[in-house]
Structure 1
Amino acid sequence: MFARACVVALGFVFTLCAAVWPQPAEIRTGSRVLWLDQAVDVALRCGSDGKLQEDAYTIHHGNNLRRLFGDIYHYAQGAADTFQSIFKDRDRDGHINFSESSIVKEAVTSTIKEIHGSKFVPWKLHKRNADFEPDSSAPQHYLSTLQIHQSKCPGSQALQPASFFAGDESHEVIIESNGTAVIKSNSSIGTIRGLQTLRQLFFAHSTSSQAYTPFVPLRIADHPKWPYRGLSIDIARNAFEPRDLLRTIDAMALAKMSRLHIHATDSQSWPIEIPSFPELARKGAYRPELVWSVASLRDIQMYGASRGVSVFVEIDIPGHTASIAHAFPNLIAAFNEKDWSTFAAEPLSGQLKLNDSNVDSFITILLHDLLPRTSPYTSLYHVGGDEVNLAAYLLDETVKSDSPEVLKPLLQNFIDHVVTTSISLGLQPIIWEELLLDWDLTMPTPDPSNPITQTLVQVWRDSARIEEVLQRGHRAIFGDHHYWYLDCGYGGFLDPYPGGKSPSGVPYNSSGGRPSKLHEPFLDYCAPYHNWRQMFTYNPLANISSDLHDGIEGGEVLMWSEQTDSQDLDSKLWPRVAAAAEVLWAGVREAWMLEDATKRLGEWRERVVVDLGIRASPVTMTWCLMEGGCNL
C-alpha cells in the first residue's frame, strides 16, 4: 500500500517525493525505511515465454572481492602522475572479457558498492537542525535481495556497440516492503538506466555506516525522449587529462546521458596518439606528457560503455587541422599566416589541402588506424566539417581558388572519401551542419536500410537550421549555441593590438594599420553566460513542424576549451549539463517546472559533489533548499 504517491504523466508533476534526476515518467513512493543489507543477494533473470535464465550471486559490503574488470583507477588521487589502466584483468593476449553480460554484472556490483560507500547526508534538503534521519538504533528492516528481470538476455560475446547503445532504455524500479528490489527492462542498457535510478534513492546516515531509502514501497517507470543525450568536450585547445573524462563520465551516467563526444584535435594541438603517424602527437601536442595514449583512449571508451555512455572521437577535417603541419607541413595550406583572421576562425590558420593525393593517403591511413580501435566500444565517428575557410585555398597550390564553384566538387570528393571509409569500418558518421546546409553536399549512403550508413547532422546555429536538415531527410542532433554552448559568457580570449592598429601584413599583404576589432567590455561571440535555468527551459522543438520531430536523434551540450582546462572543467559543466540532460531524457521543460527542478537538481548536485568528487557549482543557496524554495 503506497502511503503517498508521486505521479508524473504527460509532463505534469502532481506530488514530489524521491528527487530523482532526470525526472521519471512515473513515480510512486511510500514512507517506509529500508536499510541496505551488508550482503545483497542478486539474481539476474532474462528471457521470455517462461524460459528464464538465472545467474545468482551475493555482493558483500566491505570484502576484497575484485570487480569483474579489476580495480578502477581512483581519479580523485590528484598526486597520481600518470594515467593508470582501469581494466586490468586480461588474458595472455591482453584481451578483456568485455561483453553485455560482463557489463551488466559489473553495473550491478558497482551500484551496490557505491550505495554502501556513499557519504551523502542530505541535510541541505531539510529545515535547519531538523531531525530528518531514521533512528539507526531502532529495529531495522533490510533490502537484501535485488532481482534483475531483463527480457532480452545479455550476450556473452564481445560487445556489439550498435545494438547495445540502441537498446530499449525503458525500465521499471520496484522496491517492496519485504526487502526485495526489482529492476525490469527489455535490454542491458535499460538495466543500467534502472540501476542509475536505484542509486539515487539511497542516502548515507550521519551516525551509522549504513545506507537507507525512506521511499518504500516504491515504483518508478521511465523511458527517454531521445536516444542521443550528449556532451562534447574539446581537449585540443587547452590540455586535459584522461581522468578528467572518467570523472565526467560518472556524472553523465548519474544524469542518464548517453554520448560523450571528444573533440580530439584542432588547429592548436594534436594530443592523441596515432601509431601509424607517431610524429603527429610527438610534434603536435603541447608537451609529450600531454599525449593521450592508445591505451588511455581505449580505457575511457570502455569505462564509458560500462556506464552506458558511448564515447566517440572527432577528428575535425578539413578545417581546424593546422596542428598537422608540425609533423606534415606539405599537407596543410595557409599554415600560421600572420593575418590568421582571413584564413581561419581563430588562430592559428591552416587546413588540409583539397586536391592533393598525399592528403588522401594520409586520411586513409589515419582512419584505418584510429577507427578500428574505437569501434569495439562505439558505433559513432564525428567527421567534423565546420568552418571550412575559402581564402585558405588561395594559398593551396593544388587549388589556387576561393571560388565555391571550384571548391565544392573537391570538398565533395574529400567528404565522400571520409564518410565512406567511416561506414566501411562500421561507424556511423556525424557531420557539422555546414557541409549540408552551406556547401549543399550529398552524403554517401551505401545501404539505406542500415542506420550505420545514414550520416547524422549536428546543428549548432538555430532551430530553423534543424528544420532544414530534417526537410532534407537527414536525422539531426540539436545544440543551439544561443542556449547550450557552455563556454559562452566568460569573455573573449583574444586581445586588441597593443597600439590599437594592426601590424604590417594584417590585412594579408598590406602595410597594416587596421583598427583593432576588440573593444571593452571584451565580450565573447556567444555571450551572455547560459545559466542552468536557461538551459533547462531551452525548447529544441520550437518552430519545427511536428511532422518532422521523429527525425530528431537528440541533442548535445558543448564545452569548447579556449578558456577551460582541467582546473575549472567541473564547475563549468555541472550542474548545467545535468539541466540539459533532463530536457533530453524527459522532453521539453517549462518555466513553471523550475521550482521543483531546483530542489531535485540541488539534491543531485550535492550527491555528485560528495560521492563523485565533482566540483559542481551550486544550484541555489542552501537556505532556499532548506526552506523549500525561493520565488519572486
Structure 2
Amino acid sequence: MALKFVLKCSTVFPTVIDVKITGAMRTDCGFICILCALEIVRTTRPAADYKSPHGKGAATQDWMEMSHEYVENPLILPEIPVGWDQKDFKLNFHGDPLKFKLRRAPIPTIGSPWPKPQKHVKDSKVLYRLRKDRLVIKRTEIECPTLQEGIERYKEQIFTCLNYSHDNNLRNIYDRDLRKTMISSKRLLGEIPLLTLLIVNITRCSFWPSLESNESYQLSSTADGIELLAEDVWGALRGLETLSQIIFCSQNTILIRKTKIEDFPRFRHRGIMVDTARHYIEKETLFQIMRGMEMNKFNVLHWHITDDQSFPYESRTFPELSKKGAFHPLLVYSQTDIKDILEFGRQRGIRVVPEIDTPAHVFSWSFGKPELLTQCYNSGEIVPALMGPLNPARNSTYSFLQDLYKEILSVFKDQLVHIGGDEVPFQCWYSNPEVVNFAKHLAKQFGSRTTDMKSVLKYFTKRFVDGILKEAASRENKVRLMVWEDSFSKDLFLPENTVVQLWYTGTQVIPDIVRRNLSVVFSSCWYVDLVEPGIKWHKFYNCDPEGPRSIPGVLGGEVCAWGEHITNKDILLRIWPISSAAAERLWSAKSVTNVEEAAPRLEEHRCRMLRRGVPVSSASGPGFCETQHASKPEQSQNRREININYAPQKQYICNKSLMEFTVMLFFCGILGFLYIVQRSKKRHYFKCFSR
C-alpha cells in the first residue's frame, strides 16, 4: 500500500511526506511515522495551548527578538561570529588572525525611532496589534484643523504594511554555532491583543510655528490603548511621527511594543538650508525635502532664494527682477507657489525662513535693476557688464531695499528673516569713483583719516537694518534678523537678539557672540555639498553645535545644501540620509553619541524614508531596502513583503488543525509498529512449531 500526507500551513510552503510501504519496509515505516510525528510535535504549538508569560493582555515576541540588546544592535552579539566596526565601517570576524573585513552596512533595527527620544522605555517582549477598521481615535475637544490633518496623514502611513519577513542574507552566514542564536519558536500573531483606542490630547492649537513653539510630547502604549499628550499641536505632530516609527509590520499585521516615551528637542532651531538660485529646485522637490524634514523632526527650512546666478522670487513690487533675473521666465516661484510652500511647511510644524542675500551675491539683480549695483572699473575704465555689490552711495538703494523687504515681511510669516551679509568684495567698491568719494565723505563726517570700505559696509548695514526694523514695527510678531558670521567678524551693526549663523569657524567663537547678546545657529561642519563619496554620516553625527560643553545662546544648527553642484535631480540624495545624523544631534540628548548604536537605527530609518517615497542615498555602505511591496493589511492578506531587518528564523508549522492531524499520525505510527511486532512474533512461533 502507499500513504501520502500533504501538510499545509499558511506561513510556509506545503510540506509533503510521501511514504510507500512495502513488505520489506513495514518496520521502517512505523519508525518513520513516529519520527515524523515527533518532529512535527516539536516544531508545532497550537494556539489553544499558548499562554503568555506576561499574563492577559500581552504576548511575547521571541519569534522576532532574542533580547533587548538584540533590538539595539543585532550584530554585536558574542554568539554571532561577525561584528560591525565603526572605525572603518566594515564587518569583521571574531578571532580572525587575517583581519579580513567586508564592506557591509549594519543590520537594521525593527521599530526604533529616529531621532532618539529623550526618554524611551519599552518592553520588547510585550506586543499589541492594531487594525485600521477597529481603531477609535479620540481627539482633544479643542478645534484644531492642523492636528486633524496630521492624524489623517499619519493614519495612512501607520496602516500601510512596510515590512514583512525581516529577511537578510547575513542570517545564512556559515558557522555551526550560528544556529544556536536563531529564534527557536514562533507565535501566532492572532493571539496578540488588539488595541482599539488612540487618544490625542493637546491644550493649545497655534496656527503658525515659531522659535518659541513647544514641541514636547508624551507617548505611551499599554493594554488600555495608545495615548499621546502634548501642550501644543507641534508637539502632537512630533509624537505622531514617533508613533509611526515605533509601529512596525509582520505577516501583514500592524504591531507595537509596550512603550513609554517622554520627548522634547534639545535645540529650538533645527534646519536645512536649500539654495534655489544656483539650480532651480522645483516646488514638488521642496515638498519632498520637507517630508524628509518631518520624518527627522527638523523644523526650519532656510530658503536661500536668490544669488548671483538667478533671481527666481517673483516680486509683486518689482516683477522685473524675476522676469529678467531668473534662469528662465518659467523657472520662478510665484506668489501662489510661495503660499503653497509655506502652508505645506506649516502643516508639518516647519518654519520657512527666507534669505535675500545683500549687499553681495546680487549680480542677477543687475538684469532687471542695473542701477542698484556698483559698476566695476579697471584702471579708470568701465568694465562692461561687470557689476559688483549693491551701490551704498545712492539713497535709491536703501529706499528700494526697504520696499522689497516690506513685501518680504508681508509674504513670509516667520519672525526670522535672513539678510545674508557674507563675502562682500571690496575691490569693485574701491574701483568705483562714486563709492570712493562716498567713502571719503563718510571719513570726513566721522572724523576718520582713512578711506576704508569697511566703514562703508558698516554704514550700509546700519541704514539697511534700520529700514527693515522700521517696516517690522507694525508687524504682529516683529522681526528677528539672521546673518552670516561675516557680519559679526567685521563688527557690523547688529541689533540685540540677532542670530549669527556660523559657517567657517568652530564653536570657539560662540562665547564672544553670546557676550554681545546675540544668538547662534551652527552650520560649519554640516555642508552636504562638500561631502565626498563614502561613509561620512558619522562626521555629521559627531559634530556638536555647542562643542564639548553646553553654551547658552545656541539656538541650534542647520545643514546647508549649497547649489553650485547640486541640482533638482540629486538634491534629495545629497541631503538624505546624511542630514539625519545632524537631526539626531539637534534633537536628542547631548549624551547620545554612540555611532555603533546609531548605525542600525539609521539603516532602518533610511529604508523607512524610501518606503514613504523620499529618495535617499546610502548611509553605511552595501545593503538593501525593499520598497516595492507596501500593502494595506485589510486589503491584501497574501502579499509577501520583504524588509531588510534582520531576524533569523526557521519556518515552523503553526496550525491547530495540523496539530490534531499530527497526534493522529503519531498514534497510527504506534499501532502500525505494534502490529508489525505482533506479526513478527507469530511468524517466529510458526517457524519454531514446524521444526
Q: TM-score, normalised by structure 2?
A: 0.66
Q: Which moved more, 1:356-365 or 1:618-627?
A: 618-627
C-alpha distance in 2, partners of 1:529/1:419?
46
Rg larger for: 2
Partner SS state of residue 224, structure 1: coil
C-alpha distance in 2, partners of 1:142/1:622?
34
Count residues in correspondence: 500
Matches within 5 A, 1:187-202: 187-202=232-247
- The question of 1:410 aligning with 2:463 is answered no
C-alpha distance in 1, partners of 2:517/2:319?
40
Q: What is the aligned partner in structure 2 of residue 282 from structure 1?
A: 323
2:198 counterpart letter in structure 1: L
Q: What is the aligned partner in structure 1 of residue 282 from structure 2?
A: 241
How far did 1:615 drift? 3.1
Partner SS state of residue 272, structure 2: strand
How far did 1:54 drift? 6.3
- The question of 1:106 aligning with 2:199 is answered no
- The question of 1:167 aligning with 2:172 is answered no
Point out where structure 2 has 5 or more consecutive residues left out of the alignment: 1-53, 61-66, 72-108, 173-181, 440-451, 626-643, 648-691
Q: What is the aligned partner in structure 2 of residue 507 from structure 1?
A: none
CA-based RMSD of the aligned residues comes to: 3.4
Partner SS state of residue 167, structure 1: coil
1:575 counterpart letter in structure 2: P
Are the equivalent residues in 2 in contact too, given 1:25–1:222 (CA < 8 A)? yes
How far did 1:167 drift? 2.4
- The question of 1:44 aligning with 2:44 is answered no
* 1:322-379 deviation digits (Å, cap 9, x = unpaired): 11100010111146x899xxx9xxx98622111211111211221122221111xx22
- The question of 1:616 aligning with 2:660 is answered no
One of 579, 583, 600 as aligned partner of 1:581: 583
One of 195, 198, 203 as aligned partner of 1:146: 198
Quick one: higher RCO (CA 8 Å, sep 6+), 1 or 2? 2
How far did 1:616 drift? 3.0
* Residue 118 to residue 135, structure 1, CA distance change in 2 (3 Å): same
Q: What is the aligned partner in structure 2 of residue 475 from structure 1?
A: 519
How far did 1:21 drift? 0.4
Partner SS state of residue 529, structure 2: coil
C-alpha distance in 1, partners of 2:331/2:624?
42
Matches within 5 A, 1:8-157: 18-30=111-123, 31-45=126-140, 53=141, 101-117=144-160, 119-121=162-164, 123=166, 128=171, 138-139=190-191, 141-150=193-202, 152-154=203-205
* Residue 36 to residue 132, structure 1, CA distance change in 2 (3 Å): farther
Partner SS state of residue 418, structure 2: strand
Are the equivalent residues in 2 in contact too, given 1:32–1:177 (CA < 8 A)? no
One of 227, 251, 262 as aligned partner of 1:221: 262
* Residue 614 to residue 557, structure 1, CA distance change in 2 (3 Å): same
Matches within 5 A, 1:301-450: 301-334=342-375, 350-375=388-413, 378-400=414-436, 403-422=453-472, 424-425=474-475, 426-438=478-490, 440-444=491-495
- The question of 1:177 aligning with 2:177 is answered no
Are the equivalent residues in 1 in contact too, given 2:267–2:586 (CA < 8 A)? yes
* Residue 160 to residue 248, structure 1, CA distance change in 2 (3 Å): closer
Q: Which moved more, 1:293-302 or 1:598-607?
A: 293-302
* Residue 542 to residue 176, structure 1, CA distance change in 2 (3 Å): same
How far did 1:484 drift? 0.8
- The question of 1:254 aligning with 2:295 is answered yes
C-alpha distance in 2, partners of 1:133/1:566?
49
1:102 counterpart letter in structure 2: P
Partner SS state of residue 612, structure 2: helix
Are the equivalent residues in 2 in contact too, given 1:234–1:561 (CA < 8 A)? yes
* Residue 250 to residue 564, structure 1, CA distance change in 2 (3 Å): same
How far did 1:233 drift? 0.7
Partner SS state of residue 199, structure 2: strand
C-alpha distance in 2, partners of 1:107/1:258?
15
Are the equivalent residues in 1 in contact too, given 2:291–2:614 (CA < 8 A)? no
How far did 1:126 drift? 8.7
* Residue 338 to residue 418, structure 1, CA distance change in 2 (3 Å): farther
C-alpha distance in 2, partners of 1:489/1:423?
42
Point out where structure 1 has 5 or more consecutive residues left out of the alignment: 9-15, 46-52, 56-100, 446-453, 491-527
- The question of 1:265 aligning with 2:311 is answered no
Are the equivalent residues in 2 in contact too, given 1:318–1:351 (CA < 8 A)? yes
* Residue 573 to residue 489, structure 1, CA distance change in 2 (3 Å): closer
* Residue 373 to residue 408, structure 1, CA distance change in 2 (3 Å): closer
Q: TM-score, normalised by structure 1?
A: 0.72
* 1:533-568 deviation digits (Å, cap 9, x = unpaired): 100011322266x5xx12111111100010001111
* Residue 423 to residue 350, structure 1, CA distance change in 2 (3 Å): farther
* Residue 361 to residue 406, structure 1, CA distance change in 2 (3 Å): closer
* Residue 229 to residue 407, structure 1, CA distance change in 2 (3 Å): closer
Partner SS state of residue 200, structure 1: helix
Partner SS state of residue 622, structure 1: coil
How far did 1:168 drift? 2.0
2:481 counterpart letter in structure 1: P
One of 511, 529, 541 as aligned partner of 1:536: 541
How far did 1:627 drift? 6.7
Aligned residues: percent identity?
Answer: 27
C-alpha distance in 2, partners of 1:138/1:596?
32
How far did 1:127 drift? 5.5
C-alpha distance in 2, partners of 1:412/1:137?
68
2:121 counterpart letter in structure 1: R
* Residue 380 to residue 21, structure 1, CA distance change in 2 (3 Å): same
Partner SS state of residue 583, structure 1: helix
1:361 counterpart letter in structure 2: S
Are the equivalent residues in 2 in contact too, given 1:537–1:590 (CA < 8 A)? no
Q: What is the aligned partner in structure 2 of residue 456 from structure 1?
A: 499
Partner SS state of residue 149, structure 1: strand
